[in-house]
Amino acid sequence: MAEGIPGVLSGIRVADFSRVLAGPYATMMLADFGADVVKIESPSGDETRAWRPPVDDTGESTYFGAVNRGKRSVVCDLGTAEGCAKAVRFARTADVVVENFRPGVMERFGLDEAALRAVNPRLVYCSITGFGRDPGGDLPGYDLLVQAVGGLMSITGAPDGEPSKVGVALVDVLTGLNAFSGILLALRQRESTGRGSRVDVDLLGSLLAALTNQASSTLTTGAAPARLGNAHPSIAPYELFRASDRELVVAVGNDRQFAALTTALGLPELADDVRFVTNEARVAHRVELREALEAVLTTRPAAAWVEVLTAARVPAGLVNDVAEAFAFARSLGREPVVTTVDPATGRTSRQPATPIHLDTAPAVHRTPPPLLGEHDARWADETPAAADSARDPR
């Protein structure tokens, strides 16, 4: 954050009851822009604290660290009356409550929307589920499961191989972004109505919406798309190719780029070949086209071809590993990593930077992911009397 500039969400307090990935991702984004996010954890902590290896220099799970920077951690044992009362006292002073328990669990704790809104009508209440509230409410909302039943695995992987998941919990991330957006919409609506609202997002709905062109094709034609590996169902050449040393991607999106590609490869005749003269023809003859292009691409290293094709304004790039991807971003003048420091202990954490940039209110990368219960003492000073007097829920 630029010195002296408050986060755009400064003054917004979030009671975060969510665990694992989707909810914590959403609340971390809120914290990145200045919200005061208090992560309310069980005595054993968020499950991802135990998802190790790998670990950071202090022995903490890097999975937990990935989505929990900038927050405070408070322990509430919701299995006890005292713990529930403690959590309720905090939640009733919050602007936003985020939870991802199974339907009915928050009611049992006295933390459901109706109970909290009775004392705080301005509350924005965000529920994240795997498959909605009913009748899918009892189904476990694990990312891998949703990738399978939501159709994503059926279109991911080699045509002659098994269905494959994406290499990161993408559905959780998408759902977290939807929750973040929904909360911001609800806060904006509250400005005009004076009342909070409920935000419901689920993993299955987030995935189905994210299928975009694949979903549209299925809904229009009635035919489910097949796996194409790294090829595109509607564009060619738009896939992975072998060079002499490693793979590269060529992503041609129009006829001009295709003509530039063929010229750069010394194959200008392909641009006039009836099999390849239009994108529709190239899609129909993608196998022959791939063979013709790869026969030339395999004669030189991938990096050399990327340089040639980029100069010809043909979209192309190496297949980087994650470390190479961060180095590539830096080579373009980006700073993709943020290092947060705990001012009290000097503890540090390195994480991907927030990808949203506001010139007047930049992100607030404040503190490392909290240790379990790290802020219990400060929380006790704030609730119930101090917090209730400091914040008027009306």
How far apart, in whole angstroms, are the C-alpha atoms of residue 113 and residue 136?
A: 19
36 plus 75 within the same structural domain: yes
pLDDT of the residue at 48: 96
Among the residue ranges 201-210, 314-323, 325-334, 383-392, the one predicted with the least confidence is 383-392
pLDDT of the residue at 4: 52
Answer whether residue 287 is part of any domain: yes
177 plus 271 within the same structural domain: no
Q: Which of 262, 284, 318 is the last residue of a domain?
A: 318
Q: Report the share of the chain in percent with pLDDT over 70.
A: 95
Give 292-308 pLDDT, tens digit per residue: 999 999 999 999 999 99
What domain count does the chain have? 2
What mean pLDDT, rounded, does the chain reach?
92
What residue type is 104 in one-letter code?
Answer: G
157 plus 293 within the same structural domain: no
Answer whether residue 242 is part of any domain: no
Per the structure, the complete domain to which residue 341 belongs is given by 13-211+336-390
Across the range 90-101, mean pLDDT stands at: 95
Answer whether residue 85 is part of any domain: yes
Q: Which residues of 302-330 are buried (b: 16+ CB within 10 A; e: fewer)?
A: beebbeebeeeebebebeeeeeeebeebe
Answer whether residue 216 is part of any domain: no
pLDDT at 394 over 90: no
254 plus 134 within the same structural domain: no
Answer whether residue 331 is part of any domain: no
164 plus 312 within the same structural domain: no
166 plus 295 within the same structural domain: no
Answer whether residue 329 is part of any domain: no
Q: Which of 318, 345, 376 is the last residue of a domain?
A: 318
172 catalytic? Reply is yes
Q: Which of 287, 318, 349 is the last residue of a domain?
A: 318
Answer whether residue 218 is part of any domain: no
Answer whether residue 154 is part of any domain: yes
Among the residue ranges 1-5, 264-268, 320-324, the one predicted with the least confidence is 1-5
Across the range 386-391, mean pLDDT stands at: 44
81 plus 201 within the same structural domain: yes
Q: Given 112, 143, 172, 202, which residue is catalytic?
A: 172
Give 173-217 pLDDT, tens digit per residue: 999 999 999 999 999 999 999 999 999 999 999 999 999 999 999
CATH code of the domain containing 67: 3.40.50.10540
pLDDT at 92 over 60: yes
Give 258-282 pLDDT, tens digit per residue: 999 999 999 999 999 999 999 999 9
pLDDT at 88 over 70: yes
Strand partners, 126: 98, 199
pTM for the full model?
0.91
166 plus 298 within the same structural domain: no
Token couple for 224:
């489910």
Across the range 7-24, mean pLDDT stands at: 96
Burial class (CB in 10 A: 0-12, 13-18, 19+), 351: buried
Please give the helix or strand (H or E) that residue 73 lies within, else none: strand 71-75
pLDDT of the residue at 71: 96
CB proximity list for 167: less than 8 A, separation 6 or greater? none
254 plus 179 within the same structural domain: no
Residue 231: band (very low, low, confident or very high) from pLDDT cuts 50, 70, 90: very high
pLDDT of the residue at 133: 85
pLDDT at 361 over 90: no
pLDDT of the residue at 387: 45
37 plus 75 within the same structural domain: yes
Strand partners, 337: 352
149 plus 192 within the same structural domain: yes
More confident residue, 104 or 298: 298
pLDDT of the residue at 389: 41
CATH code of the domain containing 314: 3.30.1540.10
83 plus 112 within the same structural domain: yes
DSSP 306-319: HHHHHHTT--EEE-
Across the range 331-341, mean pLDDT stands at: 94
Residue 16: band (very low, low, confident or very high) from pLDDT cuts 50, 70, 90: very high
